[in-house]
Structure 1
């Protein structure tokens, strides 16, 4: 997920903190429209805007079992093909189904729409046999959830044709999926995705993508190379079946409440942009009966969008949220508090927090500057004195919970590791960093002007301020400026195709595994052509162009190498990425630092996967605690 697996307001929440007939009604026919003034932070400024929202009628009858959470920010989208961040993924995972899901404990692929799957001898052809009892539904905001029917009045089932459409839609350049490169593993996807939609052979390229419906409930994929992890890729939103007839009718508006047609355990009931997004249980999901022994009792999720970790935690302490992240400044108190300490959850999460460098913008177009900045981050002090959540200093991008990760190997960026982990230690790292800056023409940082940017979050701000102080101390004559942007704006700013003049020198991001394999990290995030490549690594870079080419060739070679060869290749890729090219600075490996009320029994999956259908809430216990 991950997805990009970006954590929006991650420190606040985790710190880890098909052509068919059929019609749908216009929203105005079934939903009353109202206006609401919503406050948002845009490009660093607080603004108010009037938004049109759908009103939810006052409920009649028993109050539904409702869990209250914080999404942490406005989800950028609910479209599976367009999602790149964990907040969007978290919503999408609750309302849509994939061929597979990931086990919340092992991250292994488990059945979802697909009941079974198999591959040919070299893992290049995968066949998935799907269930025949998943149906498409449409929810009337504030009203009922209806099963969508075909022209003959029969329930419209989720079929292999819907999967084929969903995959090809992701690969189709007209969709504009920033995450389409994940599916370049499928034959023909890259060729389609990089083609001119007006080209004479465009339809041929579309038809040639290696996914086909063998029958209504059997789908087959043909891959460019053997990948034993493909069933895990099949759990990602970019592979999800989506309702072609709705998308063709509504266009970009197809994901709006009242229009959107989904198939998961929950549906969107109300989405007030910038304020809250609520889900309610889909009574037509097969899982409530099939998995009754595992199913929870959550009938409604009320999710607010609060970016400030302190506000979120205050709402948790006043019992207005049932689960929350722990702000940095509250860590010591939570650990020692007799009540909060029992509600604290602290465990490893498959995510890496990092700073990326824009390699085409001065002064970070100089590899010596990039290396020096990375060296001068005191990771040990940051995790122990600022974060305080058991995070681990990172010397490699790929989190240690993944196959092929060289995390902790001192042959990879030893300057990033403290001495007790076999590294140089910070004092030596700063000494070498000073030498590099002097060689680059910035003695003691004189003339060095760096813009560091992060999305709005108190946690990210504290980390940025700590690193700013480290850089200022190491290079006293340098100028380091911090700028923040609202999440949706921020994502556009740091896209590789966005104007260079709008980009910072250094940007904050994190990556959480879509599947636990190094290919998902070094190749799918940083490959110059087939990855997101936000640092803008280029073969024509006068300093490191040859190294960039070696990095690209190394990550490609690892895809078809033997397991033993893969380990060596992924290690070499990390050496190139974080040390010799220094396109990014890995900072720490996440842990989950969160709290949950004693009346909530929830599943702690990886970011972007909540498994809400398994949560259980003791309403009586909550009411008693709140004096009701």
Structure 2
């Protein structure tokens, strides 16, 4: 059977039952664990600090989960251990979902009017209401020159005037907080306007069927006027975060720990997405060993892992433990990305033929064993994983038994004129990433490719090494193995293709790490964004996926579920797939 004959499309919500064995997992839920109790300190232990703490700049699952506790958006999603229940968009600071029927969406689907609910307040002294002007400020901060949002491309392609606003912002001194604030005061985004203190009006360049999904993203959170005093995500900002959620950061020691306590200005009746039960949340960093973290949780000296999955060796004995769970998180994690702009090896990775040869190198069966076996992960051969809009089951570079084909790799490298390569390979030090990197390095060695493995710790992997285009252009890395969890599920084709492969919006904090830029893919992105419905859009996302894989921009490796374990005193642990973690605001301690 050829690849084209294997095409099977899953569109939108119809593809969301992904069916990894064991995904129902263990763990408890609020209904089974009894009435929630208040009090106690939730102890979370893990490895690296977030790369960005500023809500406008967050870009990792850990930062998403942390931001959920103190930075609220217009819309959100609910935590649940039933994956389908986590998909629908729900009101957060907004009073209701806008529709054409209730007048919130115009007939031409280009104007959205959102009314803010009462009772949402900042933890200032004295507390004051969150206003529509705070959300306008939040959207303006997406393109700030100091720590721009990795999701700004979503809004440049969607909101009127956002592209011009961001272009002008790029000329502002990134180290001057006053100049940054002045630019935002003196320039408006045509498509984001505060009609009054409680009414926001969005004007779109064209209809976008996923626009409400975009308004759930953590970097669209409201921003208080106090943030104008600081360079975005700078050291001073990180010491002065302000909360409108159930918790506030009361102590932050960079790279070491966080302490969160109750926000006294928060009211449960004004928050339909979150709850608040534990008195404090302490996050302790600097522990790279999943085994050490797991031991602490089992012994009762910690409650949850921050950024470590359950160690692979522990999974067999925990299968029937109610504290253990495998949760659905359809993703591309990890994948191998090529630095197409680097000068190394005479610019070899900029050549499609070289990248295509390396597609045959990887033994996915070995990677599956490393992360926990077939109940935890399955091989992935496409940019878009199963369970996401536009997925198509196709394998452009098949190998026997998913074990790689080093002979074919060597043959194609020789044919491309690069029989010998030496590649710089930074890797994350937490979880099983070192083992994954070593496995991939061994596969490449079988192809005649040497690798220089470099530990990249302390939260610099994404924000520093991969997210800084100048470092890629300087040849500081050649290949890397990041991961990508979609920003939302449902009608979500753009939440994978656009941030990872649109070559037109690449800049600081980019997630198009390898610098891939193909005008044909860019055109397919535009076609999907202007499609009249989700089904038509899915077809364009599928075509973009196929073209990206023909170009071998990345090597998809695994579609991986999340393994979680909590201490015996944790109850009401409910999952948020986009954070790859339990919702800290929903659980409680016995």
Same fold (TM over 0.5): yes
Q: Give the C-alpha shift of residue 237 in structure 1.
A: 2.3
Give yes or no for the alignment of 1:441 onto 2:417: yes
The answer (yes or no) to whether the contact 1:210–1:222 under 8 Å persists in 2 is yes
**Separation in structure 1 between the aligned mates of residue 51 and residue 308 of structure 2, nearest angstrom:** 24
Structure 2 equivalent of residue 598 of structure 1: 568
What runs of 5+ residues in structure 1 fail to find an aligned partner? 1-13, 17-62, 139-147, 150-154, 420-424, 539-547, 619-628
**Cα separation, partners in 2 of 1:595 and 1:501, compared to 1, 3 Å:** same
**Separation in structure 2 between the aligned mates of residue 404 and residue 344 of structure 1, nearest angstrom:** 32
- Map 1:77-92 to 2 at 5 A: 77-92=52-67
Q: What does the per-residue CA deviation read over 1:63-110, in whole Å, with 9 as the maximum and x for residues that have no partner?
A: 941111125311233211122222222221111111011133332211
The answer (yes or no) to whether the contact 2:47–2:430 under 8 Å persists in 1 is no
What runs of 5+ residues in structure 2 fail to find an aligned partner? 1-22, 26-37, 80-84, 99-103, 174-182
Q: What does the per-residue CA deviation read over 1:108-162, in whole Å, with 9 as the maximum and x for residues that have no partner?
A: 2111100112322343221111112111104xxxxxxxxx33xxxxx41001011
**Cα separation, partners in 2 of 1:206 and 1:174, compared to 1, 3 Å:** farther
The answer (yes or no) to whether the contact 2:42–2:282 under 8 Å persists in 1 is yes
Q: What does the per-residue CA deviation read over 1:555-601, in whole Å, with 9 as the maximum and x for residues that have no partner?
A: 111111244432332122111212x2111111111201121123312
The answer (yes or no) to whether the contact 2:62–2:306 under 8 Å persists in 1 is no
**Separation in structure 1 between the aligned mates of residue 422 and residue 43 of structure 2, nearest angstrom:** 44
Task: Output the aligned Cα RMSD.
Answer: 3.1
**Separation in structure 2 between the aligned mates of residue 366 and residue 551 of structure 1, nearest angstrom:** 17
**Cα separation, partners in 2 of 1:219 and 1:106, compared to 1, 3 Å:** same
Structure 2 equivalent of residue 342 of structure 1: 322
Structure 1 equivalent of residue 161 of structure 2: 188
**Cα separation, partners in 2 of 1:190 and 1:576, compared to 1, 3 Å:** same
**Separation in structure 2 between the aligned mates of residue 242 and residue 310 of structure 1, nearest angstrom:** 39
Matched residue SS, 1:511:
coil
The answer (yes or no) to whether the contact 1:170–1:180 under 8 Å persists in 2 is yes
**Cα separation, partners in 2 of 1:469 and 1:175, compared to 1, 3 Å:** closer
The answer (yes or no) to whether the contact 1:102–1:232 under 8 Å persists in 2 is no
The answer (yes or no) to whether the contact 2:376–2:562 under 8 Å persists in 1 is no
**Separation in structure 1 between the aligned mates of residue 567 and residue 113 of structure 2, nearest angstrom:** 43
**Separation in structure 1 between the aligned mates of residue 582 and residue 352 of structure 2, nearest angstrom:** 40
Matched residue SS, 1:359:
coil
Structure 2 equivalent of residue 413 of structure 1: 396
2:425 to 449, 452, 474: 452
Structure 2 equivalent of residue 93 of structure 1: 68
Give yes or no for the alignment of 1:255 onto 2:230: no
Structure 2 equivalent of residue 570 of structure 1: 541
The answer (yes or no) to whether the contact 1:192–1:205 under 8 Å persists in 2 is no
The answer (yes or no) to whether the contact 1:404–1:571 under 8 Å persists in 2 is yes
1:106 to 86, 104, 107: 86
Structure 1 equivalent of residue 34 of structure 2: none
**Cα separation, partners in 2 of 1:175 and 1:489, compared to 1, 3 Å:** closer
Matched residue SS, 2:322:
helix
Structure 2 equivalent of residue 72 of structure 1: 47
Q: Give the C-alpha shift of residue 390 in structure 1.
A: 2.0
Give yes or no for the alignment of 1:557 onto 2:527: yes
1:235 to 193, 200, 216: 216
Give yes or no for the alignment of 1:534 onto 2:513: yes
- What TM-score, normalized by structure 2, do the two folds share? 0.80
**Cα separation, partners in 2 of 1:245 and 1:80, compared to 1, 3 Å:** same
**Cα separation, partners in 2 of 1:256 and 1:371, compared to 1, 3 Å:** same
Matched residue SS, 1:413:
coil
Q: What does the per-residue CA deviation read over 1:442-484, in whole Å, with 9 as the maximum and x for residues that have no partner?
A: 44xxx221222212224100011111122222x1x33122112
**Cα separation, partners in 2 of 1:524 and 1:478, compared to 1, 3 Å:** closer
Q: Is the deviation greater in 552-561 or in 563-572? A: 563-572
* Higher CA-based Rg: 1
Q: What does the per-residue CA deviation read over 1:150-178, in whole Å, with 9 as the maximum and x for residues that have no partner?
A: xxxxx410010110111112234466444
1:170 to 138, 142, 147: 142
- Map 1:574-589 to 2 at 5 A: 574-578=545-549, 580-589=550-559
Matched residue SS, 1:482:
strand
Give yes or no for the alignment of 1:508 onto 2:493: no
The answer (yes or no) to whether the contact 2:51–2:459 under 8 Å persists in 1 is yes
**Cα separation, partners in 2 of 1:570 and 1:432, compared to 1, 3 Å:** farther
Matched residue SS, 1:534:
coil
**Separation in structure 1 between the aligned mates of residue 46 and residue 523 of structure 2, nearest angstrom:** 39
The answer (yes or no) to whether the contact 1:128–1:220 under 8 Å persists in 2 is yes
Q: What does the per-residue CA deviation read over 1:501-535, in whole Å, with 9 as the maximum and x for residues that have no partner?
A: 34311012111111221111111221001353221
